[in-house]
Structure 1
Amino acid sequence: KRRRHENKVSRPFEFLVEDIFNVPGVGPVVSGFVNAGELTVGSTANVYVGPTDDGTFMKTLAKSAHIARINTQHITSGQSACLAFSLNKELRKKLRRGMVVLRENPTSTREFDAEICVLKGEGTTIRRSYQAYVHILNVRQSAYARQIEIVNHNSMGLPPSHNAEFEEDGIVLRPGSRAKVRFEFAKRPEYIRPGMRMLFRDGRVRGVGIITNVPKEVAVAV
């Protein structure tokens, strides 16, 4: 795993927010994981934190960083760390788990395409408007299946599906089915990108997939 993250140092900085704190005398602090890239904190470390509930990103300054309670000026891919931001009281209220910290190109979206495989769910069928709870790295949110398409070649390297069926009201997926699905988040936009792996669940249903396309909506920084 360490070698894999060493190969991601050259990518754009991407920090996954896992928890939020308000430290007296310091201000808002987030803990999380450096998924890609590197960052040197200080007076020139301008970053974008988001997306908020309306899909925008907050431009702020990464004042300082800690790793295992030790102050550091530099964090890199593969490390768990804490970052302190310079945010006013109104913007602090918008911080939440599941956000990301980026250096450039902040975008968010409500929709994404993924090639999925239904692993289990006896007695359950998946069709258009199906709702499930989706996990994508640190993102956790309900999402609707807006479109379903059977594909013969997929990004997961799996053989074509033989368990998906066509019915009068559209395509129906059952355990073992593989398909391309357009999902829409139920509550708010999120930051995701092609190549991320996902897991979805609903009762006894379990499935996995990989994101293949994201129709991005450029978010305005505030």
Structure 2
Amino acid sequence: MSVYTWPPYQILIISFYSITPIFAISSVTGESLDLLKVFLNILPPLTNSREQEELMQQLPEFQVDEIYTVPEVGTVVGGTLYSGVCKEGEHLVVGPTDSGSFLPLKVCSIQRNRSACRVLRAGQAATLALGAFDRSLLRKDELRTGEKAVVRFRFIKHPEYLKPGTKLLFREGVTKGIGHVCSLQ
């Protein structure tokens, strides 16, 4: 097997033509790891600095992907902060619950990449420790889908927090689909 090392400018050209490069990297010696690092450093960010600043000016919105109970810590949620800024010790609300209400909570601590941090900004993924918050009041998103088309949903189990532009994962049995909210009524 041959490993070809391309100059960084060639990687940049290929990446703009939507070709996915394959890197042969040794997990033992680290050979060609520098090439992967160069490639990752030249990838453009998903949002520019102006868009990122606008997102951080909005109210915090954290989408929960995972819920854990950690001994001596309490309830911990993992997910992504889609807008705003979340700080350690900040008081937020969570919901909607099955009854449609929002409940107050306090962010006890924040971790990113298994390291403690005090501030979480829009676009960052993290875990938030909520302390003694009742885990049964939290749930991950659960959506159902029909056929491939423009669809209208009516949530019958419990309310959902949605806004136009929100990306959604649709699941029905083993079938999954991705979509976004076009409008709300």
* TM class, shorter-length: 0.5 to 0.7
Correspondence for 2:104 among 56, 59, 67: 59
Write the letter of the residue equivalent to 1:93: S
Q: Which runs of 5 or more residues in structure 2 are unaligned?
A: 1-44
Equivalent position amino acid for 1:196 in 2: T
Q: Which amino acid aligns with 2:143?
A: Q
Distance 1:185 1:9, change over 3 A: same
Structure 1 residues 201 and 22, CA, compared in 2 at 3 Å: closer, same or farther?
closer
CA distance in 1, matches of 2:113, 2:167: 28
What does residue range 21-100 of structure 1 map to in structure 2 within 5 Å? 21-42=68-89, 45-88=90-133, 91-98=134-141
Match of 1:6 in 2: 52
Is this contact kept in 2: 1:143–1:184, CA < 8 A?
Answer: no
Q: Report what 1:20 is aligned to.
A: 67
The offset of 1:143, in angstroms, is 5.9
Residue 210 of structure 1, CA deviation: 4.2
C-alpha root-mean-square deviation of aligned residues, in Å? 3.0
State the identity as a percent: 34
Normalised to the residue count of structure 2, the TM-score between the two structures is 0.61
1:33/1:200 CA distance change after superposition, 3 Å? closer
2:164 aligned partner: 194
Would the alpha carbon gap of residues 197 and 28 (structure 1) be closer, same or farther in structure 2, given more than 3 Å must change?
closer
Residues 1:86 and 1:185: Cα distance change in structure 2 (over 3 Å) = same
Moved over 3 A (4+): 197-203, 205-210
Question: 2: CA distance between counterparts of 1:141 and 1:20?
Answer: 17
* Structure-1-length-normalised TM-score: 0.52
Per-residue deviation at 1:197? 3.9
Q: Is the 8 A contact 1:142 1:187 kept in 2?
A: no
- Alpha carbons of structure 1 residues 199 and 62: separation in structure 2 relative to 1, 3 Å: closer
Supply the distance in 1 between the matched residues of 2:139 and 2:171 (Cα, whole angstroms). Answer: 22
Structure 2 CA distance, aligned partners of 1:92 and 1:199?
23
Cα shift at 1:73? 0.7
Give unpaired runs (5+ residues) of structure 1: 99-139, 145-173, 216-222
Aligned length: 138
Per residue, is there more helix in 1 or in 2?
2
Structure with higher Rg: it is 2
